[in-house]
Structure 1
Amino acid sequence: MGTILQFVVLGLGLGAIYIGLGTGLLLVHRATGIINFAQGAMAMWGAFVFAQLRLDGTLVFPIGSIELERRPPVAVAALIGLATAFLLGLLVHYVIFRPVRHAPVLAQVVVSVAVMITLQALVVLRFGPNNIDVDSLIPEDSFTLLGADIPTRELVMAAIMVLLAAAVWAYLRFTRAGVATRAASENERAAVLMGFSPDRLAAVAQVVAIMLGTVAVMLGSSLTGLNADNYTLLVVPALAVLLVARMESIAIVVVAALLMGAFQSLINLLITKPFWPQWAQSGLDQVVPFAVVMVILFVQGKRLPSRGSLQTVRLPDVSIPKFKPIPAVIMLVVGVAALSFTQGTWRFGVTTSIIVMLLALSYVVLTGYLGQISLAQGAFAGAAGFCLSKVTTNWGIPFPISLILCALVATGLGMLVALPAFRIRGAQLAIVTIAAALAIERFVFNNYTLSPPEGNPIADATLFGLNLGVREGRDLARISFSVMVLVIAAILVWMFIRVASGDTGRAFLAVRANERAAASSGIDVRKTKLIGFAISAFIAGIAGCLIGFSRGQLSAESFSVFAGLQVLAVAYLGGITSVGGAIVAGVLGPLGIVYTLLRGVFDLGEYYALISGLGLIITALLNPVGIAGATREQVAWVKRKLSRSGPPPSTVPEAPAPKEPSRV
């Protein structure tokens, strides 16, 4: 019993971090309507500044640094870290979140994901990828209870965060500004009538949220050290806590956060027991947030609150694609020429761009055409890739049967993740998919029982005796493999155009525009969503298999959550509503043509994630239709001017959403 109590108390330290992040998420959502997926990344910047000051006395800025004569005391370093968090909160609010406060949910999710990618990449560049040890702000001590040593540090951490959360609750409950913030969460006009600016209330909420999260990370990082990847993704369990509280109750956030941390700690105790199965000893604690999210959304998904706003902005228009033989032949010729006149690293970059184009196309199907926000496409691709390793090396299933079989596995997984979409959509669906992606990565890809640490080898593809392997001797990217990738991509693009231009595509667009209107016109919304997830996951699965063939073996890093989010970044940057956007995304994608150029010519490969994150922020703020969409609009404008004809090319605009009654 004493050991159980000891692990429960240890879990309160993790629960304290969840309190800080979860309370901040709730506060920002109350003030802006935005679910900030970058909450963990924003909170860790000030903590890294604090840690570096204590480590060697260096005050690190996004650009440049100052070497202090001596290390500042703990309290001074902590205040400097909080000051940088304060400035970061103001910057992010006024430059990034303020312009999208009334934008569609897709733009809000994409912007917050872009901030996450940018800050995570910036932290790695400025502070390094390794763990940084952090001085504890709380003296370490313990006492004996039920025969076990119970640490006091975790108890004090939890108490501090509970008091800070209580202060936020008092602010919302008893101050005029807090009451106005609560009123704005229902209808912004209510806050205006009270004499407050919703924008200023949002700025205050953003600053308080990031400082609260920074305190939590400063306290919690003394337990395990600071790591950019881990603390960025701690937002996932914090999002689960937010949903348990129905995005409304700080008290429930506090209780749920402490219970979540304690339960995850108990799982770490259980996996050490002899009766625990070996295959479930890795990553199970990361499955808990996903399970919590699924249960909450199924039970009360339709009762989760949404925020009233002063206006609504349309999603980008979608052009119905048409198959044009001549442009298709030209594109194929260009592709073959690009593969034929390159070699080595450059040909591999072109080939990878074609594969990333397919992964981006899966986003076009699901997010661009169906309007469902998924952050799990990388996990679908990874599931197919790891399955490919098993079926080719263990079972000897030949190509292309192995390719199709593994893509169907990804399809089944995608349809499973699609089930919550029957009840929820928008940012809440994004929470489900990122939680699913993290659970799959930690429980499957990082599970050494299922995925050996030495890698997952994949046998080369052969067809009618022709070797389609990617490497042979010194040739790192054989032309036969690259042409195979191009042919598969051409077939999938043709299939997508057929689907998108037919009745199924029109059903997708109807659901995207207005689900109630689509249902009233006879469209089976659930079936349409299921088909969309299935097609999207199948395309992602094919891309994952091709990534496997191109690498020869796979590891968990090949399909991490961050890798999937980077593809989302370039998909939105290229234009998430068109095949042309997917092609642009392929060119810009990880390890693709632009990456090869940055690394090989300019020696800037390590800056790729930062550049893609900043590019996504700029695109989401200034040009929501992406590069391909903007190009298409310019071409249409020129054609109208030349022909002096008024109407633009046929597009399917976003139908206005039904207005909900205002509540004051």
Structure 2
Amino acid sequence: MQYLIQLLISGLAIGAIYGLIAMGFAVIYKSTGLVNFAQGEMTMITAYIAWTISTTVSGNVFVVAVGSILAAILLGLIIERLVMRPMLGEPVFATVMVTIGLAVILRSAINFIWDAYPHGLDIGMGRGIVHLGGIGVRTGQIAVIATLLLLLAAIWAFFRYSKVGVAMRAVAADDRTALLMGISATRVHALAWAASSVIAGIGGVFFALSYDLSPAMFQLGLKAFPATILGGLDAVLGSGLGGLLIGITENLAGGYIGSGMKEVAGFAMIIIVLMIRPVRHLRRTRHREGVMRTGDYKQSYGELVALIDSPPVWLWSAVLLLALIAAPYVLNSYALSFLMIILITVTGALGLNILTGYTGLISLGHVGFLVTGAYAYAVLVSKYHMPPLVGFLGAGVVPALASLIVGAPSLRLKGLYLAITTLAFSFIINTVILEMRWLTNGARGIQVQRPEIFGISFDSDAAFTYLCLGIAGLTLFATLNIRRSRVGRAFVAIRDNDTAARVMGINLHAYKLFAFITSAFITGIAGALYGIYLSFVSVEGFPFLLSIEALAILIVGGLGSALGAVLGTILIVLLPEATRIIFSLFSAQMDATFTTGAQELKSMLYGLVIILFLRFQPRGLVGAWHDIRRAWVHWPLRY
């Protein structure tokens, strides 16, 4: 019984921290209709600022508290003004991806501004032990629970009785009507971001008081998100109470089932809750109207579904193919490694493009299918000595079957809620892989050798490049043909307007599941190729950054375009290397900085590219190319 009480108390304490961060999510959504996936990173930065103040200025509780609150307010205001305000009115996917890009930048900045080592926040409180009925409780745990309850009461009174709170509710209900009533929506949004940053920052400071302060703290945002879903995205009080429930559930699962279950209990609750009580839609956003342009039109159905409708395109495609065939004989091993990565990444990006680009289903769980395909190949080939072709088949089939777990909720969910479900899947699948040690070797991973198919060895880099080229080429050809087929047109119809698609007789359930299965099959094969390239398959080799990279590729290249997936891959893969070369031109010190912090700079570049493209060129490189070609063809006319 004492063990159960201890679990409940510690669960309430960590749940209170989740609740504070979840309330930050809800405050922003309630006031702006935006979901901030950078909430965990903002929480972490506020905690680091508190630690910096305590170690360099003063360890006084009052000084640390005031300094941290002011820093959190400033951080929220800067993000709202520079990053989020220009994105108002944009589609849900765009705003979600901007906050994800922001999260990547803030997370990587931690290692540059501070370091990657754990630190303890000591301000003379929070680590003492109080005995209640024979059970030891940290004073920090008592303080965070009390703080959550006080903030819940204060926020309820704020939204209920204060003029500013009523104004925020009015903007949340209808910002246009609120504007006619003299309420400034921009001021309300700025206040919401500042308040969210402060509330979540308080949770981060309490976490640092009870546990170590480290860059891994960003995961608090991911763990707090289930509380927001459970309590309601626009329910501040419900999110706070949801955090308590998530904390208790995690602790009980970890205490009585296993530590692995503790990590995924909250995400499992997301899937269960959304399946039982789906939310039909997010708040509607007003999209910016596009400009109607004249141009060239297809005059027959055959022209409309033609694979390539331009002879020069055929010519340049043949030239590119010949160049790729000759590349292994011309490039050195370093350049050839980039070509292999590009071809593998193109395969995975084309798989995600079917789901997100063609069908419009936002997925943050791309890396889950990659790692599943890699492990399926490694287990079949390395552990059970199956032929490589069987391994590749398994690398596609196993993720395709796993996609049904994610695809089933897609029948009732869309938009952000579906993205959350796929995100939960990626965390759950990692835990499952680590727990199934008898099959996957757990954290030790599995060694993988280069394959031999039909007596042809792909052991050399040149031969493996040809294997990657063949698979990437077949994938590109298949996705282009899917796009112009009846199935592809159904995908696009669902993406553009699923209600209209249903009226036209399109079976939404069947086509959504088919999109998930097809995407997962292709992505799984890309995961197998990546595992072979690494020569070692482990969970650590497939970080969540790969999901961000895949979405960045689609955004940079152009959503819904196979050519865009190829162009986006080339830019995203070569961007870090191009940046390194530019850095090296200035000074050796800058080159050394890039070398020592390559992973962090790479992440920051991804985040920056996502934000800049969504802000200034939302149609990606393909859209820019179309604009340039149109201007060239119709010059000196504007259209």
TM-score of the superposed pair, with normalisation by structure 1:
0.87
Distance 1:151 1:2, change over 3 A: farther
- The Cα of 1:337 is off from its aligned counterpart by 3.5
- The Cα of 1:151 is off from its aligned counterpart by 3.1
- The Cα of 1:385 is off from its aligned counterpart by 0.6
Secondary structure in 1 matching 2:35: coil
- The Cα of 1:527 is off from its aligned counterpart by 1.1
Secondary structure in 2 matching 1:102: coil
- The Cα of 1:321 is off from its aligned counterpart by 7.8
* Alignment partner, residue 70 of structure 2: 83
- The Cα of 1:444 is off from its aligned counterpart by 2.4
Distance 1:160 1:361, change over 3 A: same
* Alignment partner, residue 417 of structure 2: 428
- After TM superposition, the structure 1 = structure 2 runs for residues 330-369 of structure 1, keeping only pairs within 5 Å, are 330-369=319-358
Secondary structure in 2 matching 1:106: helix
Distance 1:566 1:170, change over 3 A: farther
Paired positions, count: 611
Contact 2:126 2:141 survives alignment (8 Å): no
Deviations 1:563-616 (A, max 9, x none): 321332233122222122211232234xx3333444577443341111111111
* Alignment partner, residue 439 of structure 1: 428
* Alignment partner, residue 395 of structure 1: 384
Deviations 1:351-406 (A, max 9, x none): 10111122222232111111111001111011111121111111111122211211
Contact 1:186 1:308 survives alignment (8 Å): no
Q: Given the alignment, which residue of 243, 252, 265 partners 2:229?
A: 243
Contact 1:24 1:213 survives alignment (8 Å): yes
Is residue 322 from structure 1 mapped to residue 330 from structure 2 by the alignment? no
* Alignment partner, residue 512 of structure 1: 495
* Alignment partner, residue 151 of structure 1: 138
Q: For residue 230 of structure 2, what is the amino acid of its counterpart? A: V
Q: Given the alignment, which residue of 194, 200, 216 partners 1:213?
A: 200
Q: For residue 633 of structure 1, what is the amino acid of its counterpart? A: D
Q: 1: CA distance between counterparts of 2:337 and 2:395?
A: 23
* Alignment partner, residue 560 of structure 2: 577
Gap runs ≥5 in structure 2: 294-303, 585-590
Q: 2: CA distance between counterparts of 1:72 and 1:321?
A: 70
- The Cα of 1:116 is off from its aligned counterpart by 0.9
Contact 2:351 2:522 survives alignment (8 Å): yes
Secondary structure in 1 matching 2:444: coil
Q: For residue 8 of structure 1, what is the amino acid of its counterpart? A: L
Secondary structure in 1 matching 2:279: helix
* Alignment partner, residue 184 of structure 1: 171
Secondary structure in 2 matching 1:150: strand
Deviations 1:325-355 (A, max 9, x none): 4333222223234433222222111210111
Q: Given the alignment, which residue of 561, 564, 576 partners 1:595?
A: 576
Q: 1: CA distance between counterparts of 2:543 and 2:346?
A: 18
- The Cα of 1:531 is off from its aligned counterpart by 1.2
Query: Percent identity between the aligned chains?
Result: 25
Distance 1:314 1:344, change over 3 A: same
Contact 1:21 1:40 survives alignment (8 Å): yes
Contact 2:631 2:638 survives alignment (8 Å): no
Is residue 97 from structure 1 mapped to residue 84 from structure 2 by the alignment? yes
Deviations 1:263-287 (A, max 9, x none): 212222224xxxxxxxxx4431222
Contact 1:510 1:518 survives alignment (8 Å): yes
Distance 1:310 1:351, change over 3 A: closer
Q: For residue 276 of structure 2, what is the amino acid of its counterpart? A: V
* Alignment partner, residue 442 of structure 2: 452
Secondary structure in 2 matching 1:283: helix
Q: 2: CA distance between counterparts of 1:132 and 1:374?
A: 34
* Alignment partner, residue 162 of structure 2: 175
Is residue 8 from structure 1 mapped to residue 2 from structure 2 by the alignment? no
Which structure is higher in helix share? Answer: 2
Distance 1:130 1:198, change over 3 A: same
Q: For residue 242 of structure 1, what is the amino acid of its counterpart? A: T
Q: Given the alignment, which residue of 205, 209, 234 partners 2:220?
A: 234
Contact 1:40 1:235 survives alignment (8 Å): yes
Contact 2:279 2:413 survives alignment (8 Å): yes
* Alignment partner, residue 298 of structure 2: none
Contact 1:507 1:528 survives alignment (8 Å): yes
Distance 1:308 1:554, change over 3 A: closer
* Alignment partner, residue 651 of structure 1: none
Gap runs ≥5 in structure 1: 58-69, 272-280, 471-477, 647-664
Contact 1:29 1:35 survives alignment (8 Å): yes
Q: Given the alignment, which residue of 275, 280, 301 partners 2:278?
A: 301
More divergent stretch after superposition (402-411 vs 144-153): 144-153
- After TM superposition, the structure 1 = structure 2 runs for residues 487-566 of structure 1, keeping only pairs within 5 Å, are 487-566=470-549
Secondary structure in 1 matching 2:388: coil
Contact 2:61 2:124 survives alignment (8 Å): yes
Contact 1:469 1:549 survives alignment (8 Å): no
Secondary structure in 2 matching 1:301: coil
Distance 1:626 1:585, change over 3 A: same
Deviations 1:594-639 (A, max 9, x none): 3344457744334111111111111111111112321233223322
Q: 2: CA distance between counterparts of 1:315 and 1:468?
A: 50
RMSD: 2.5
Q: For residue 543 of structure 1, what is the amino acid of its counterpart? A: A
Contact 2:355 2:519 survives alignment (8 Å): yes
Q: 2: CA distance between counterparts of 1:42 and 1:26?
A: 15
* Alignment partner, residue 464 of structure 1: 454
Q: 2: CA distance between counterparts of 1:373 and 1:538?
A: 17
Contact 1:379 1:560 survives alignment (8 Å): no
Is residue 608 from structure 1 mapped to residue 584 from structure 2 by the alignment? no
Distance 1:90 1:315, change over 3 A: farther
Q: For residue 24 of structure 2, what is the amino acid of its counterpart? A: G
Q: 2: CA distance between counterparts of 1:645 and 1:572?
A: 26
Distance 1:45 1:320, change over 3 A: farther
Q: 2: CA distance between counterparts of 1:599 and 1:321?
A: 41
More divergent stretch after superposition (373-382 vs 557-566): 557-566
Q: 2: CA distance between counterparts of 1:172 and 1:447?
A: 48
